[in-house]
Amino acid sequence: MQIEIKDVTCGYGNHSVVNSFSTIIDQGEILCFLGPNGVGKTTLFKSIMGLLPLLDGEVLIDSKDSRRISRKKFASLVGYVPQTHSTPFAFKALDVVLMGSTARLNAFSNPSKSDYTKAFEVMGQLGIERFADKIFTELSGGERQMVMIARALMQEPAFIMLDEPTASLDFGNQAKVLKELKTLSNQGIGIAMTTHAPEHAFLCGGRAVLFAPGGHALSGPVKEILTEENLEKAYGLPVAVIEDRWHDRRMIHCTPVI
């Protein structure tokens, strides 16, 4: 199964941000979206999710037009971890994870015992079952992010789209989130995420999409796309991409030259 983004133009109202963009998200791969602020990464994600109307083009999931797929069916195919998540109410983390089971329930029913079991399972998989009874809004940024990923996993989706999953996380938590995402992609889930750190794209491997100001986008294998030349074009300053060796692993660093 794959998500096919075909000549998509998206934006708000008449104002388009991303113009005829195409790419494919495959199951079991990690696709990283990079580019400067305001270039339309979030807008594109919301449009793919059907939260914003497409201005042009189409999104095909398993060769089916996503606009013809019901919200319920869509939620069982694609999970979404938005950039900001807030609720004014003091829900328990377990309740938040359980909300991921909504798509499997009919409109008038409530989560069953097996949904609870599944929620604990998913939280265990991510190593966060100890948060189950804690108040979601009182968790730290990293813990909240894990809960949101657990909520997306509860949907049992084939794909998960994450909007800046590592933003505002500390060094260690960023790595933890990336590691989990890698594990998930190895289990066959297709992952699309936006990030501001080219290094994260290198760590994930897979493919990358790099937006430059003006909506022009490059896509392909990470190493071919995130070159010094392309990064400089996108971010408007020289960037050093350094290949290094640590014990017997090859690492790639990206540093802006200032």
Residues engaged in binding another protein (CB under 8 A): 46, 49-51, 70-76, 79-80, 82, 85-92, 95-96, 99-100, 102-103, 105, 107-111, 132-133, 135, 137, 151, 155
Name residue 244's beta-bridge partners. Answer: 251
User: In terms of CB distance, is 94 or 231 closer to another protein?
Assistant: 94
Comparing C-alpha atoms, which of 254, 206, 207 is closest to residue 234?
254
* Cβ atoms 29, 79 nearer than 8 A: no
Count of CA atoms in the C-beta half-sphere (13 A) of 242: 10
User: In terms of CB distance, is 137 or 173 closer to another protein?
Assistant: 137
* Cβ atoms 161, 74 nearer than 8 A: no
User: In terms of CB distance, is 131 or 202 closer to another protein?
Assistant: 131
Least distance to another protein, CB of residue 100, Å? 7
DSSP 130: G
Count of CA atoms in the C-beta half-sphere (13 A) of 45: 27
Least distance to another protein, CB of residue 107, Å? 7
Least distance to another protein, CB of residue 191, Å? 16
User: In terms of CB distance, is 81 or 209 closer to another protein?
Assistant: 81
Write down the H helix ranges in 59-112: 71-77, 93-98
User: In terms of CB distance, is 87 or 255 closer to another protein?
Assistant: 87
Least distance to another protein, CB of residue 253, Å? 35
User: In terms of CB distance, is 3 or 96 closer to another protein?
Assistant: 96
What CA–CA distance (Å, rounded) separates 62 from 139?
A: 37
CA end-to-end span of the chain: 43
Least distance to another protein, CB of residue 5, Å? 17
Least distance to another protein, CB of residue 43, Å? 13
C-alpha 116 chain-centroid distance:
25
Least distance to another protein, CB of residue 90, Å? 5
User: In terms of CB distance, is 156 or 199 closer to another protein?
Assistant: 156
Residue whose tokens read 């948060």: 131
Could you give the C-alpha distances from 73 to 63, 102, 103, 239, in angstroms and in order?
A: 14, 11, 7, 43
